[in-house]
């Protein structure tokens, strides 16, 4: 099933949509008249979708489980006739210097942040027609080194490479694949950073502040709809990469 829809009524799949960046992206897409499927592991995702209103739906799926992912995408396509936009936002952060980083934590981060997006790309392809757009959400640490972030940095660096490979492979099908890199965005995930470390990082941002989830959602919206952009890495980080 690869039917296309008009730009005014695109059909989105957003992973990790129960909070933070994913929820902000889903809200923005729905507010602009698109149909959005919010994907998360928790059962409360249906409540989030109902709160957004419109034609938003919530589906429970584990990005690390290919069968779960395939089922979720098939259900979206069955309900709406196809999928136009995939946002690979779901992420897991487990830090630790090499001496304290467990093998289980290393594998869990890679499974979620790198294999998870690949699972979703494979699952949406049968339902995505020409003009479809895939946006992966990266991280500054995927391009710059931060002590204690071996797992997260490796997974996001891998996602950057995967984005460019998929951009080349899927261009022949008329599909676009891009990577958006948030900087220090105020979300539940960054709320766990110790205050001293966060203050030091914010001080290194040229614009001098954290970004908001809504600012990141605006960039993702634009990238998802840019018809001649593929294989690109777009940072929305207040200038942080310039300083590091």
HEC string of the chain equals CCCCCCHHHCEEEEECCCCHHHHHHHHHHHHCCCEEEEEECCCCHHHHHHHHCCCCEEEECCCCCHHHHHHHHHHHHHHHCCCCEEEECCCCCCCECCCCCCHHHHHHHHHHHHHHHHHHHHHHHHHCCCCCEEEEECCHHHCCCCCCEHHHHHHHHHHHHHHHHHHHHHHCCCCEEEEEEECCECCCCHHHCCHHHHHHHHHCCCCCCCECHHHHHHHHHHHHCCCCCCCCEEEECCCHHHHC
- Listed in sequence order, the residues at least 6 apart from 203 whose beta carbon sits closer than 8 Å to its beta carbon are none
- Residues 59/39, Cβ–Cβ less than 8 Å: yes
Q: How far from each other are the two terminal CA atoms of the chain, in whole angstroms?
A: 45
Is residue 228 part of the annotated active site? The answer reads no
- Active-site entry in 152, 167, 170, 211: 152
Rounded to the nearest angstrom, the gap between the alpha carbon of residue 234 and the centroid of all alpha carbons in its chain is: 13
Would you please indicate which residues are annotated as catalytic (active-site) residues?
152
């Amino acid at each position: 099933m690869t039917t296309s829809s008009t730009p005014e009524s695109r059909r989105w799949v957003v992973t990790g949509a129960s909070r933070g960046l994913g929820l902000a992206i889903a809200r923005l897409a729905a507010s602009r008249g698109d149909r959005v499927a919010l994907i998360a592991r928790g059962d409360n995702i249906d409540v989030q979708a109902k709160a957004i209103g419109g034609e938003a739906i919530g589906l429970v799926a584990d990005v690390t489980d290919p069968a779960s992912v395939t089922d979720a995408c098939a259900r979206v396509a069955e309900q709406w006739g196809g999928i136009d936009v995939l946002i690979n936002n779901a992420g897991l952060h487990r830090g630790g210097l090499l001496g304290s980083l467990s093998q289980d934590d290393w594998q869990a981060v890679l499974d979620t942040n790198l294999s998870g997006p690949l699972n979703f790309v494979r699952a949406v392809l049968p339902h995505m027609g020409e003009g479809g757009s895939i946006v992966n959400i990266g991280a500054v640490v995927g391009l710059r080194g931060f002590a204690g972030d071996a797992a997260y940095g490796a997974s996001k660096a891998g996602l950057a490479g995967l984005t460019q490979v998929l951009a080349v492979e899927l261009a022949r099908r008329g599909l676009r694949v891009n990577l958006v890199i948030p900087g220090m965005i105020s979300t539940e995930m960054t709320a766990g950073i110790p205050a001293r470390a966060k203050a030091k990082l914010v001080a290194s941002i040229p614009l001098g502040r954290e970004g908001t989830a809504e600012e990141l959602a605006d960039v993702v919206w634009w990238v998802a709809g840019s018809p001649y952009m593929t294989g690109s890495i777009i940072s929305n980080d207040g200038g942080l990469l310039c300083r590091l």
